[in-house]
Structure 1
Amino acid sequence: MTESVERVKELEQEAGRACGIGKLLHFDYDKVELANMNRLFFQPHQAALSKVEAAEHTLRNIDPDVAFEVHSYNITTVVEHFEHLMSRISNGGLQDGKPVDLALSCVDNFDARMAISTACNELGQRWMESGVSENAVSGHTQLMIPGESACFACAPPLVVAANIDEKTPKREGVCSARLPTAMGVVAGILVQNVLKFLLNFGVVSFYLEYNATQDFFPTMSMMPNPQCDDRNCREQQEE
């Protein structure tokens, strides 16, 4: 049994190295709750830990060769936090002082998405956005290249997918729970597209929707909006 467990750990580490990811920067201010257990990779004994701390512990056990940098704060509430986020995007790459290769947004609120979009537009940083809708059985991934494709301010995903304003308050009586399978599928699609983008193979859809009830995967390409509210997006388009 011990040999089998050790072999599993070796295979997990080899898989991590095979993906070529050398460094992960993780930003999140939330704490692990028991309600997260059904759909995220946290474990019950990690309840009350910050999500970035718990994630680092789990991921470091899977692949200790990856460099981790974690920050437990809200990027939307303090100017210094937003400025630090931008600094780490532009200087926190595997080689210190170099930008990251790709930013990923896996957040669940409009303000955080807008903050990430604003930072990436200003820095010219390529990023991918993803999320699962409140109906629990649909989701999306979206690739954004400043100046070349629509940014979050140009076309928020909920507006595209369901004609719903991202800023609409949660509706009374609607459960915001997510099916673990739907989240797993969306996360898998996101990671697959990350590898395709970084390794330059296959086709990465600029917008890919997932509907679990019909096994439906519509895709589309969205050009940036010349009248985008984000000045940096308009400037990136001109460049």
Structure 2
Amino acid sequence: MSFDRYSRQERFQPIGNLGQKKLIKKHVLIIGAGALGASSAEQLVRGGVGRLTIVDRDYVEWSNLQRQQLFTEEHANQRIPKAKAAESKLKEINSEIQIQGHIMDVQREELEMLIDQVDVVLDATDNFDTRMLLNDVCQKYCVPWIYGGCVGSHGMSYTVIPGETPCLQCLLESVPIGGATCDTAGVISPAVQMVTAHQVAEALKILVEDKEALIGKFVMFDLWNHHYTTLKVNRVKRKNCPSCGVNAVYPYLSPKYQTKTAVLCGRDTVQIRPPSKMVRNLDEVRMSLIDGEVEQNPFLLSYKKGDQRMVFFKDGRVLVHGTKDITEARNLYHKIIG
């Protein structure tokens, strides 16, 4: 390790040399490699966390470049999966730590595999189905996680400590978390950075084992209109909460919540998952496509015919672009796959 690489961080007394030694032994999992995930990952990698796992189901597009700081025009041109583009860039920033990117859509099985030996999870997702699943997995395995959300100039963050704080399920009945999306209201990059500043600061406190410094409140802000609010939420913790209560059953880990189709946030795109685990041979898919435009890289295959475009991943997932209608997407899918 370079002797002075983390010297300025070590001079910050709450971390110090001892905290830095703790950081290098810790493992952070980030779900999502978009705006929030890319920013948080870079801060943690530069700060010297020992191991980082970043997971994302999508690939880089031109609309991402305005705020997703790890990605370049070349990534967008080649449609490189975000998890792999992030992994490559992060290794250039800090080659001394373990960094692994996974191209996958996380459901119960994937999350329960990924959470092993993780010290804290950062939420960088774009939908509440995944967040509720993440909430239940973290409660079940007693792993702290940090919620983050961003739209327009607004942002919010909250740290969940299993067994101590209210969980996301508790909060949904009391805190206005839902609402507009990036698709309807857009988003500005400074708001992204503000959210990740809160998330990463809270993560560092957990990783250096300074839980007394955690904010312990739900944070909300509007950068454009200069509003900043913190809410005390400790009283909303429910003893009968199905996710964190006395008799928790972790409802979002049940089969009925495991989705096979999903409309992607902010895009006219439907994702279709295979009914069971598989490895798709992209070369075979290419051979089966009689006409249309085909582009392929080591991670995915893109097929365009007229106004229709489908993207095939090795894990069997397919993104059907140009529609939010799940039935229409399935019909297009079956025309190609059978």
TM-score range (shorter-chain normalised) is 0.7 to 0.9
Give the drift of 1:137: 0.9
What do you get for the CA RMSD once the two structures are aligned?
A: 2.9
Looking at secondary structure, tell me which structure has more strand per residue.
2
Distance (whole Å) between structure 1 residues aligned to residue 193 and residue 5 of structure 2: 21
Distance (whole Å) between structure 1 residues aligned to residue 233 and residue 123 of structure 2: 18
Q: Select 2:213's aligned residue among 203, 211, 216.
A: 203
Gapped runs of 5+ residues in structure 1? 1-9, 77-81, 91-98
Distance 1:202-1:148 versus aligned 2 partners, 3 A rule: closer
Distance (whole Å) between structure 1 residues aligned to residue 8 and residue 138 of structure 2: 32
Q: Percent identity?
A: 25
RCO comparison, higher one (Cα < 8 Å, 6+): 1
Aligned residue type for 1:195: L
Gapped runs of 5+ residues in structure 2? 10-43, 249-338
Q: Select 2:61's aligned residue among 33, 39, 45.
A: 33
Q: Select 1:228's aligned residue among 232, 236, 241.
A: 241
Q: Select 2:74's aligned residue among 45, 69, 78.
A: 45
* Contact persistence 1:12–1:63 (CA under 8 A): no
Distance (whole Å) between structure 2 residues aligned to residue 43 and residue 13 of structure 1: 30
Give the drift of 1:196: 2.4
Question: What is the correspondence of 1:16-165 to structure 2 with a 5 Å cutoff?
Answer: 19-41=47-69, 42-47=71-76, 48-76=79-107, 82-90=108-116, 99-133=117-151, 136-156=152-172, 160=175, 163=176
Distance (whole Å) between structure 1 residues aligned to residue 53 and residue 187 of structure 2: 25
Residue 193 of structure 2 corresponds to which residue in structure 1?
Answer: 184
Partner SS state of residue 210, structure 1: strand
Aligned residues: 204
* Contact persistence 1:13–1:62 (CA under 8 A): no
Partner SS state of residue 169, structure 2: coil
Residue 326 of structure 2 corresponds to which residue in structure 1?
Answer: none
- Of the two, which has the highest radius of gyration? 2
Q: Select 1:215's aligned residue among 217, 223, 226.
A: 226
Please identify, of 214-223 and 118-127, the stretch whose mean Cα deviation from structure 2 is larger: 214-223
TM superposition score normalised by structure 2:
0.54
Distance (whole Å) between structure 2 residues aligned to residue 169 and residue 227 of structure 1: 30
Distance 1:196-1:170 versus aligned 2 partners, 3 A rule: closer
* Contact persistence 1:147–1:236 (CA under 8 A): no
Distance (whole Å) between structure 1 residues aligned to residue 226 and residue 247 of structure 2: 36
TM superposition score normalised by structure 1:
0.75
Distance (whole Å) between structure 2 residues aligned to residue 216 and residue 193 of structure 1: 21
